[in-house]
Amino acid sequence: MHEIVSHPSPALAEPAAGQLLQPKRATRYDVLGAISFSHLLNDMMQSLIVAIYPLLKGDFHLSFLQVGLITLTFQLTASLLQPVVGVITDKRPMPYSLPVGMCFTLSGLVLLAVAPNFSILLIAVALIGSGSSVFHPESSRVARMASGGRFGLAQSVFQIGGNFGASLGPLLAAWVVLRHGRGEVAWFALAALLAIVVLIQVGGWYKRHITERVPHRIRAAGPPYPRKLVARTLAVLMVLIFSKFFYLASISSYYEFYLMHHFGTSVRDAQYHLFVFLAAVAAGTLIGGPLGDRIGRKAVIWVSILGVAPFTLLLPHVDLLWTGVLSVVIGVILASAFPAIIVYAQDMMPHRIGVVSGLFYGLAFGMGGIGAAVLGALADKFSIVFVYQVCAFLPLLGIMAVFLPNIRPPIFRPATVPMPAQSPAHAD
């Protein structure tokens, strides 16, 4: 048995012995696979909202601002509730909250298929957002519990499911919903039912391993880093989240309209381009976590956000072919930051995993929602091309990464804290 220790750089005072110690266990790839697959289904269903924007815009005669309000409703419902869920579940474990949250998503999908007006459409989107608010904080915690100490890898595996699911949404929308009509969205409720079945199994594993949620020595020793350092670090990470997700909102919400308006592409071709971009985001997510385990999370964050700036600045000034190429490069580089940011924040506050996960996933959703609404208003007043010209400068905020402390990836040391004994019924 071993314990994992996170170390600050020499410039920081090293935590007292035992403050960051967690028992090493084998990485549970079956659990990671189950939670990643659930994430795939969850985000696939959610991405249908964005993917059918052209259809919704025509059915309800929406302005760009109203399109942004749909995204804002979904993102804010998710973002405002996620930290609340994190606070509650940090204090009181709820292993079966994951399938319960997925029931909200199921209800929202059915209502989305039959919504008669814009107000009911917003209610449907809010239900889907509520399901997301429960899913992300607790599933991120499960991924960390199953990581065996490979925290970056676990977050990447968890997030890749969501990214891949998000990239499937536009394809399924093009093949099914756009071809046969909005009522076909109801069929995706079957995916929600499948996710509920899988999450019930995950909840059972979570319940059997509930004593591993929060290491007792961390509770006893208190927070491992000074409060001011944690506050400053979290503030910098939030600025970087703003930069990343505000820019991503310009592509995920308006990329199809940009391609149709600027290059005259068809709706279906625009859907395929969006799929390629989202697939690139998935690839970047898979790379970022393990790379952060190996070379350090700060290096990944630095390169990912600031390093993408030359490509975003070039994007509004190239033809359709190079727009597709640059969107892939931007997706891969920019997406690699998020697993590193999540694990970096969790390493700073290992005794508040639910709060940290809820805060950062919620902030990501919130920034995407606010960005969609603001950028929609700009597109209505000026043009969709102007939106991309303005957003191109956002990654320059990546320079803020210089203020992050040098937190090294965890290393292993001999164990000094025995693990709680398990009964045969709870053995792996």
Q: What are phi and psi of 264, to 5 degrees?
A: 75, 25
pTM more than 0.85? no
| pLDDT score for 63 | 81
CATH code for residues 29-213+226-407: 1.20.1250.20
H or E stretch covering 4 = strand 2-5
DSSP secondary structure letters along 28-39: -HHHHHHHHHHH
CA neighbor of 327 nearest in space, from 223, 255, 221:
255
| Residue pair 157/143 in contact by the 8 Å Cβ criterion | yes
Q: What tens digit of pLDDT does each residue of 74-117 get?
A: 877 877 788 888 888 877 778 888 999 999 999 988 888 888 88
Q: What tens digit of pLDDT does each residue of 279-327 get?
A: 888 888 888 888 877 877 888 888 888 788 899 899 888 899 998 899 8
Provide the Cα torsion 370, 371, 372, 376; round to 10°.
110
CA atoms within 13 A of residue 155's CA, in its CB half-sphere: 31
Which residues pair with residue 22 across a beta bridge?
4
Instruction: For the sheet with 22-23, list strands across it.
Output: 22-23, 2-5, 411-414
CA neighbor of 155 nearest in space, from 319, 397, 360:
360
Tally of CB atoms within 10 A around 234: 17
CA neighbor of 153 nearest in space, from 353, 360, 317, 297:
297
| pLDDT score for 35 | 93
| pLDDT score for 159 | 85
| pLDDT score for 213 | 56
CA neighbor of 151 nearest in space, from 300, 367, 40:
300
pLDDT < 70 stretches in the chain:
1-25, 178, 180, 211-224, 365, 369, 407-428
| Residue pair 311/333 in contact by the 8 Å Cβ criterion | yes
